[in-house]
């Protein structure tokens, strides 16, 4: 089983402008994240049923769930002030 690794470097210097931009940026990224989370729930349920019935994972559902979780982690790290690196509005491939 592979492990998941995530790190965030500590930076003492923080941008005050970035703090203000963060709240404006939260609006479009929050809407995209909301709609992607709805799709994620359906993909998760389908993956669960696929594993239950066939005993193996579906590749497309697995990849989509992985991409969503990576996007959500970046999104959450930015908005809980762990990083000043902005999340893209749409998930990257």
Give the DSSP letter string of 4-72.
P-------S---HHHHHHHHHHHHHHHHHHHHHHHHHHHHHHHHHHHHHHHSS--HHHHHHHHHHHHHH
- How far apart CA 26 and CA 28 sit, in angstroms, is 6
Which residue shows structure tokens 């909301």? Answer: 34
2-50: pLDDT as tens digits: 776 777 777 778 778 888 888 899 999 999 999 999 999 999 999 999 9
Are the CB atoms for 33 and 25 separated by under 8 Å?
no
Task: Report yes or no on whether pTM surpasses 0.75.
Answer: yes
């Amino acid at each position: 089983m592979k492990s998941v690794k995530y790190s965030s470097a500590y930076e003492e210097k923080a941008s005050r402008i970035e703090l203000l931009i963060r709240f404006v940026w939260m609006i479009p990224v929050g809407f995209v994240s909301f709609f992607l989370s709805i799709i994620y729930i359906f993909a998760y349920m389908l993956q669960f049923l696929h594993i239950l019935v066939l005993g193996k994972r579906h590749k497309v559902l697995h990849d989509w769930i992985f991409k969503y979780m990576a996007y959500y982690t970046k999104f959450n790290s930015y908005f809980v002030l762990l990083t000043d690196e902005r999340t893209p509005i749409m998930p990257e491939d």
